[in-house]
Amino acid sequence: MMDKKLKKITLIYHITIIFLALFSVLLVLCSLFHWLSIVTYPYNYIHNGGLIIFAIDYVIRFIYAHDKKHFLIENSFDLLGIIPMHPLFVFFRLGRVVRILRAHRIFVVLGIDGAFTGSIHKFIYSTGFIYLFSISVAILILSALLYSVVEKISLSNALWWAITTATTVGYGDIYPHTFIGKIIASILMIGGIGFIGLLTSTITDFFTFNKEAKENTVNQNELKELMSSIDQLSKKVDHLSDQVNRLTKQKKNTNHRNR
């Protein structure tokens, strides 16, 4: 009885989290299209309230997690989703939605689970993408925070500067004016570019490996078909050889009798 009640409470809680995650994403999208502003009343309270709820949810789950290291790895996107750095960070909350749906086997019911979702999970965790991505984001956020304080600009603009600098795009619309700001930029150029380079290399290697694996699979299938054809041909040759031998014996016997 208690198990059913607990499952029901968990289901209601998960549905609430999914609704809040989707609603927060929709709120930010509306703000991006200037249909509303999340910095004005009452949307600022709604936006900040959602941030607090997801932060509490993350902390509680972390406290009760048996394997803290595994939790941090599996829920890296959740941590990014509660960073009040930029409104677009709420899109990381969709990772929580995906895990809830997988836990309730919704993808299986919809028929979209299996090789596709398995490949995504393998790409994120098995290739080390999640580690490199988390480190890259941490470097960008830390650099943007320091740059914002030193150069006295908004966090959003500082984050934009950090991204354009680390990706070597460098539009030049924002650049350091102070000595400390130049030092931060230099560190970001060296460290950020290195990790983002590894990140893009990991993505490239994954798709290249998958392409080669598919080609090898195709070649193996072709080889199996060829071996099967050779085996069938060999059986036919053996059968034909047996028939020839029988005919030869019959001819010898016939000639012997005639003598």
155-207 pLDDT, tens per residue? 889 989 998 998 888 888 899 999 999 999 999 888 877 887 787 787 787 77
Same domain, 91 and 195: no
How far apart, in whole angstroms, are the C-alpha atoms of residue 176 and residue 183? 9
DSSP string, 10-45: HHHHHHHHHHHHHHHHHHHHHHHTTSS-TTSTTHHH
Q: Is residue 213 part of a domain?
A: yes
For residue 134, the model assigns a pLDDT of 80
Same domain, 107 and 168: no
Q: Mean pLDDT, to the nearest integer, of 57-63? A: 93
For residue 77, the model assigns a pLDDT of 86
15-39 pLDDT, tens per residue? 999 999 999 999 999 998 989 999 8
The answer to whether the predicted template modeling score (pTM) of the entire model surpasses 0.75 is no
* Residue 37, Ramachandran bin (φ over 0: left; ψ between -120 and 50: alpha; else beta): beta
For residue 258, the model assigns a pLDDT of 58
Could you tell me the two tokens for 244?
Answer: 């020839």
Q: Is residue 249 part of a domain?
A: no
Same domain, 156 and 232: yes
Same domain, 140 and 152: yes
200-227 pLDDT, tens per residue? 787 787 777 765 555 555 556 666 776 7
Range of the domain at 33: 1-113
Single residue among 96, 113, 130 that ends a domain in this structure: 113
Single residue among 52, 79, 113 that ends a domain in this structure: 113
Q: How many CA atoms lie within 13 A of 96 on its CB side?
A: 30
For residue 207, the model assigns a pLDDT of 72
78-91 pLDDT, tens per residue? 988 898 877 888 99
